[in-house]
A and B are shown apart, each in its own frame.
Chain A
Amino acid sequence: MTATLFHNARLIDPEAGTDAPGSLLVRDGVIVARGEEADATGGDARIDCRGACLAPGLVDIGVKVCEPGERHKESFGTAGQAAAAGGVTTMVTRPDTTPDIDTPEVLEFVARRAREASLVRVLPMAALTKGRAGREMTEIGFLLDAGAVAFTDCDRVVTDTKVFSRALTYARSLGALVIAHVQEPTLSQGACATSGKFAALRGLPAVSPMAERMGFDRDMALVEMTGARYHADQITTARALPPLERAKRNGLDVTAGVSIHHLTLNEFDVADYRTFFKVKPPLRSEDDRRAVIEAVASGLIDVISSMHTPQDEESKRLPFEEAASGAVALETLLPAALRLYHSGDMDLPTLLRAMTLNPARRLGLPQGRLSKGAPADLVLFDPDAPFVLDRFALRSKSKNTPFDGARMQGRVIGTWVGGTCVYDRTSEHA
């Protein structure tokens, strides 16, 4: 097989924490050399990066592809195209489909569909409890064998503490990662906004940010009790950060993520009941947003996710309380995240680490690195290129993005999965 030399690149290495000019040599889908060594060896093919950033492809935990059940919202084909255009080379997909992915049979269907249709890698997650109903655990062992990389009931909290503790214990015995939504479910019932001035002004049922901390506190007690491997899907409030810090300091096997929307938007962006801004948990105050950005910069929060959630127009064209939650974000993840770089909140290696190395490590994947021997899953992007987002230009079947008409800075130029180009912006516009 041929070797490809990426030269004249600005290499963003999240593992080493470096941002420096260099080259990368890829052979047989694997990174084989860097820097002078790569230049000296040379490749059959040469790609001139023209000074643009070359980084590991993004690993996105928590992508909803609506197969099975709602292919009109998103399929593996369209999600894969959106991911490729967004620099996402691994989609870690959610089991909150119709039906839920809670048996090895459904998981195998999903894996087959992903192989047939997706341009990028797909690693499916499975439900933690049957039907995500919070009563009986799924066949965690069979599902692991079938390829499930983590177990989650998505945005449903397993309210029965006994059920959850047993599921955690069982998962621990198999070394399975459990991903939980942190929320005190009765306190947040019916809420679609965060309590405070905005919710009061708009008359929306609201939940205190304390509900997130209460959910997290309970889960930490259970993790301490069971020794499970645990990842909080989204930590979005300042109140939940001290317990997260404490859990990590005490040596619990705990990591946390946050959605790109909670890092780049706040509750006031909802303005006049714009339902594309309705996400779960609801957007928070600016103080919370700032605190969570700092937590990503310091490494306390490990992972930034798109929480890609396609919804059709009908489910969003409703009064705010009745409208569906969620936003598509595979294509906007990187440009939105780059807002944090342009605002000076963090450097590129730190920002990329939360979208590459950290999620890959948490799932035990070899991706997310630029080191020799790592898979050649790569994204080439210009961090400064400005554009105005048009939601109808998105590749996702559903167009429910909160960034419609937003000015963004940073565009993907090319994406490679295992050394194969899956997106090339230049050819697309030729």
Chain B
Amino acid sequence: MAFTQDHLLGIEKLGPDDITTLLDLADDYVALNRSDNKHGDALQGLTQVNMFFENSTRTQSSFELAGRRLGADVMNMSMQASSIKKGETLIDTALTLNAMRPDLLVVRHPHSGAVDLLAQKVNCAVLNAGDGRHEHPTQALLDALTIRRAKGRLHRLSIAICGDIAHSRVARSNIILLGKMENRLRLIGPPTLVPSGMEEFGCEVYEDMEDGLRDVDVVMMLRLQKERMDGGFIPSEREYYHRYGLDAEKLAFAKDDAIVMHPGPMNRGVEIDGTIADDINRSVIQEQVEMGVAVRMAAMDLLARNLRARRAAAA
């Protein structure tokens, strides 16, 4: 088994071997992160730049911590405040940055495909930390690791993804990843929030939570992205909560040992009931955050190995 990628732009580009290799290594990093000496040297001497064109606290901190724990020099650039406002194009920003010789570039951008575009112009390893509505690969990988650890496997599970599928890059990456690992996928949401064509990805689409949740092993809730609502997708938050918010009553339709996931940040009382989110027997939401650091360490470690090998071959 091997990890063959130069960048981590999306789950779509990964094979099952890439995914398994990465998750196996992430398991090791979970152990490291739980120890008293949280230091590795896999990224020693390398420079990691976090370039966020969109606000993020959780993902950016997770990447930063992952890089520091493995010995990288980490720099955070908040791009909303910088040159983009001065009219510089994405490509020019990339070229400028590239001249500073970073080794790992972590990018979040509000437009689908922007990270792919950037990756074509730089000669370091690029990690997509979320691009528009397209992909958020490290989120899908940390979800996969969480599921694998909770369920003991990552195949032949019945998994429901619920809520705002249309605006969610998390949903898209998860659908692709869980599909590649041969799970049964259900998408549940109001039809205004589920894009057309999802059946063609091999998903079953449900408009009713109770039908959709019946006997599933995993319930993945999505954030109702208020900032993405350019108006009128749902009548009101309270009606959404009534029909699609996960509460004990709806969760009862899933398997007794079904786990509940949420990528955060949660809107309690909108897409998820607070007591479900806090139920340590069902909710793995905090574990997801923990897995996030480990998965990002593994991703950067593997990309750095390939980067070093590539540079050695070129030298």
Chain A residues near B (Cβ < 8 Å): 190, 195-206, 208, 272-273, 314, 317-322
A sample of 11 inter-chain contacts (CB < 8 A) reads A190-B230, A196-B196, A196-B197, A199-B195, A200-B196, A200-B201, A201-B172, A203-B131, A272-B116, A273-B116, A320-B113
Give the size range of B's interface with the partner.
Answer: 20 to 34
Q: Are B112 and A203 in contact, CB atoms less than 8 angstroms apart?
A: yes
Binary CB contact string for chain B from 192 to 208 against chain A (1 if under 8 A, 0 otherwise): 00011110110000000
Set of chain B residues within 8 Å of A202, measured between Cβ atoms: 112-113, 134
Q: Are A199 and B197 in contact, CB atoms less than 8 angstroms apart?
A: yes
For the complex, what is the distance from the CA of A321 to the CA of B110, rounded to whole Å? 10
In the assembled complex, the CB of B266 is this many whole angstroms from the nearest CB of chain A, namely: 22
For the complex, what is the distance from the CA of A195 to the CA of B133, rounded to whole Å? 14
Q: Are B113 and A272 in contact, CB atoms less than 8 angstroms apart?
A: yes
Q: Are A203 and B90 in contact, CB atoms less than 8 angstroms apart?
A: no
Chain A at the B interface: mostly helix, strand, loop or mixed? loop
For the complex, what is the distance from the CA of A206 to the CA of B167, rounded to whole Å? 12
In the assembled complex, the CB of B117 is this many whole angstroms from the nearest CB of chain A, namely: 6
Q: Nearest 6 pairs between A and B by C-beta?
A: A273-B113, A203-B133, A203-B134, A319-B111, A319-B114, A197-B197
For the complex, what is the distance from the CA of A322 to the CA of B131, rounded to whole Å? 13
In the assembled complex, the CB of B194 is this many whole angstroms from the nearest CB of chain A, namely: 9
Q: Are A203 and B135 in contact, CB atoms less than 8 angstroms apart?
A: yes
Is B169 at the interface (CB under 8 A from chain A)? yes
Set of chain B residues within 8 Å of A319, measured between Cβ atoms: 90, 109, 111-114, 117, 132
In the assembled complex, the CB of B87 is this many whole angstroms from the nearest CB of chain A, namely: 11
Chain B residues near A (Cβ < 8 Å): 12, 89-91, 109, 111-114, 116-117, 131-135, 169, 172, 195-198, 200-201, 230
Q: Are B111 and A320 in contact, CB atoms less than 8 angstroms apart?
A: yes
Q: In the complex, what residue of chain B is closest to A272 when comparing beta carbons?
A: B116
For the complex, what is the distance from the CA of A412 to the CA of B89, rounded to whole Å? 39
Q: Are B117 and A203 in contact, CB atoms less than 8 angstroms apart?
A: no
For the complex, what is the distance from the CA of A320 to the CA of B114, rounded to whole Å? 7
Known: A200-B198, A318-B89. 6 other contacts (CB 8 A): A197-B200, A200-B196, A203-B133, A203-B135, A208-B196, A321-B111
In the assembled complex, the CB of A96 is this many whole angstroms from the nearest CB of chain B, namely: 23
Our pick among A200, A205, A317 for the contact of B197 (Cβ within 8 Å) is A200
Set of chain B residues within 8 Å of A318, measured between Cβ atoms: 89-91, 117
Q: In the complex, what residue of chain B is closest to A193 when comparing beta carbons?
A: B112
In the assembled complex, the CB of A288 is this many whole angstroms from the nearest CB of chain B, namely: 14
Q: In the complex, what residue of chain A is closest to B131 when comparing beta carbons?
A: A203
For the complex, what is the distance from the CA of A273 to the CA of B135, rounded to whole Å? 13
Set of chain A residues within 8 Å of B197, measured between Cβ atoms: 195-200
Set of chain A residues within 8 Å of B12, measured between Cβ atoms: 201
Q: Are A322 and B111 in contact, CB atoms less than 8 angstroms apart?
A: yes
Set of chain B residues within 8 Å of A204, measured between Cβ atoms: 112-113, 132-134
Q: Are A203 and B132 in contact, CB atoms less than 8 angstroms apart?
A: yes
Set of chain B residues within 8 Å of A273, measured between Cβ atoms: 112-113, 116-117
Q: In the complex, what residue of chain B is closest to A196 when comparing beta carbons?
A: B197
For the complex, what is the distance from the CA of A197 to the CA of B199, rounded to whole Å? 9
| Residue from A190, A201, A318 with most neighbouring chain B CB atoms (10 Å) | A201
Q: In the complex, what residue of chain A is closest to B133 when comparing beta carbons?
A: A203
Set of chain B residues within 8 Å of A197, measured between Cβ atoms: 197, 200-201
For the complex, what is the distance from the CA of A320 to the CA of B135, rounded to whole Å? 15
Q: In the complex, what residue of chain B is closest to A205 when comparing beta carbons?
A: B133
In the assembled complex, the CB of A286 is this many whole angstroms from the nearest CB of chain B, namely: 13
Q: In the complex, what residue of chain A is closest to B114 when comparing beta carbons?
A: A319
Q: Are B112 and A321 in contact, CB atoms less than 8 angstroms apart?
A: yes
For the complex, what is the distance from the CA of A196 to the CA of B89, rounded to whole Å? 30
